[in-house]
Structure formats: structure tokens, C-alpha cells
Copies of this chain bind each other. A is one copy, B any other.
Amino acid sequence: MKGSLAVVGIGPGEKRLLTPMGRRVLLQATIVMGYRGYLDQIASLLTKKEVVPFLIGQELERAEKALALASHGQRVALVSSGDAGIYGMASPVLELWLHLPTEQRPSLEIVPGVPAMVACAALLGAPLGNDFAVVSLSDLLTPWEVISRRVEAAAQADFVVVLYNPRSSRRPWQLAEARRLLLRYRPPTTPVGVVRKAYRPGQAVTVTTLGELDERAVDMETTVIVGSSVTWARNGHMVTPRGYRLEALP
């Protein structure tokens, strides 16, 4: 008997930003799997369930295990923080699922969530109000030359740039290098939003500039949003205009 697998984005970590659809899938699951830290955030929804925690780095193992259990009749929920489709578990799960013969596939649902960048943007104001590019600075799975080409292209074409996985103890230099690339095309006064632990205990929201960005304050729980040429900041808020002509107002 085949079961089902739901890949669920739980949002930034505040339960009021977990969608009712995601909540329901979690409550109906027989097994809930995911990175230990994310499972802790939703512990109150997981009583009387089999909970399978994993370590960071075990993404493929998680996807395989979840598919195997679902194939054997379980109702499995696999959680990601933010949205599962954005640097989350949806992609490796779907790759493995599509490689299975059709008759061996359990039913699969991807449940959308509030992405980290959206939560961070809301705390900053409206930095994503116009076109933007999203780049992960982790070169564990993508070569740095590909990443740096994307950062440079985004800078050159005047996108707001969202940097995921900006800095860790194993990857201390990539953020400084991305900043250097951005400074080729944008002035040091360009607003930069730095949000750590959005909507979680210990939340820290900072608006600084490309020239003054202190990389040491950035870690893996931080998202960095670099403004475009028209982004402006005031009173700790960042806004990228959509292009309405405010000066035309009465």
C-alpha cells in the first residue's frame, strides 16, 4: 500500500506564519521528518507522532527516507523552514520522485510557505517592491564562478539582490567577495538590510549600507538584502519604489 508525502514550508519559525494548509498536513501526518532545529519550532504540533530529526547536510538522506516510508504506506510530512521550494527540500524530493517508475511513486504534494526573504523583507519595510534576484552564496553545491557571475549580473542589471546562506564558519569569505562585486556597480551608500532570526527569539533587524556592512555580524541564520539604485532607507526602513510618481501627487 502506498502512502503520501507532503513537503511543507513552515515559514520563518513563528507559528502565526505557518499556513493553515501546512498546519493541517502536519497534524494529519503519521511521521514528521526534518532538520532538528525546524522540528523544535513546531514541537507543539508533533505530540503523539513519530518524529524523525536529521542533521544539517543530510538532505538527500532525508528525501530518500521520506520517499521510502511514504512508499510503504505512511503519511509522511517533510518540513523545510521558509518555503520548501526555495533552497529547501522540494527540489531533492522531486528529483528522486521523478526518477521512480510511475507505479512506485507515493502521492506527493508540495505545500507552499512564507519564504525567509519575504519575512525578512516585511521586517525591513518593502525592499522587494521591484525586480529582484535571489542568490545563495553557498559554494558547497554550486561552483563559486557560477555564483559570482550571478551576483555580478544582478548588480549590473540593477536588481535588488537577496543573499541566502551568506556566511558560515566554513565559508567566511564569500560575502566579502559578493560585496566587492556589488560595489563595482553600486555606490557605498546603497542600503543593505541584514535580518537575523526573522520572527524568532533573538530577531535582529539592521539597515546599513554596502560601504559599512559588517560581515562579521552575518551568519547562516541571516538573510542579506542589497538595494538597487533606487532603493532608499530612512528611520531603519528600506523601500524599493515600484515607480509610482509620488511627486505628481497633490
Chain B residues whose CB sits within 8 angstroms of the CB of A152 once the complex forms: 157
Q: Are A112 and B121 in contact (CB under 8 A)?
A: yes
**Contact (A94, B249) CB under 8 Å given A114-B19, A150-B157:** no
Q: Are A132 and B134 in contact (CB under 8 A)?
A: yes
Q: Label chain A's interface by main secondary structure.
A: mixed
Flag whether A237 is at the interface (Cβ < 8 A).
yes
- Give bound CA distance, A79 to B140, whole Å: 40
Q: How many residues of A contact B (CB 8 A)?
A: 78
Task: State how many copies of this chain the complex holds.
Answer: 2
Chain B residues whose CB sits within 8 angstroms of the CB of A246 once the complex forms: 60, 95-96, 99
Residue of B whose beta carbon sits closest to that of A96: B246
Which of A37-45, A47-55, A83-91 sits within the interface? A83-91
Flag whether A36 is at the interface (Cβ < 8 A).
no
**Contact (A133, B130) CB under 8 Å given A16-B20, A59-B244, A157-B150:** no
- Give 1 or 0 for each of A11-22: 1 = CB within 8 Å of chain B CB: 110111111110
Q: Are B91 and A242 in contact (CB under 8 A)?
A: yes
**Contact (A92, B18) CB under 8 Å given A87-B129, A98-B235, A125-B110:** no
The listed residue (B21, B87, B133, B135) touching A14 by CB distance below 8 A is B21
Chain B residues whose CB sits within 8 angstroms of the CB of A206 once the complex forms: none
- Give 1 or 0 for each of A121-138: 1 = CB within 8 Å of chain B CB: 111011111111111100
A114–chain B nearest beta-carbon distance, Å: 5
Chain B residues whose CB sits within 8 angstroms of the CB of A133 once the complex forms: 131-134, 154, 159
Chain B residues whose CB sits within 8 angstroms of the CB of A176 once the complex forms: none
Chain B residues whose CB sits within 8 angstroms of the CB of A240 once the complex forms: 91
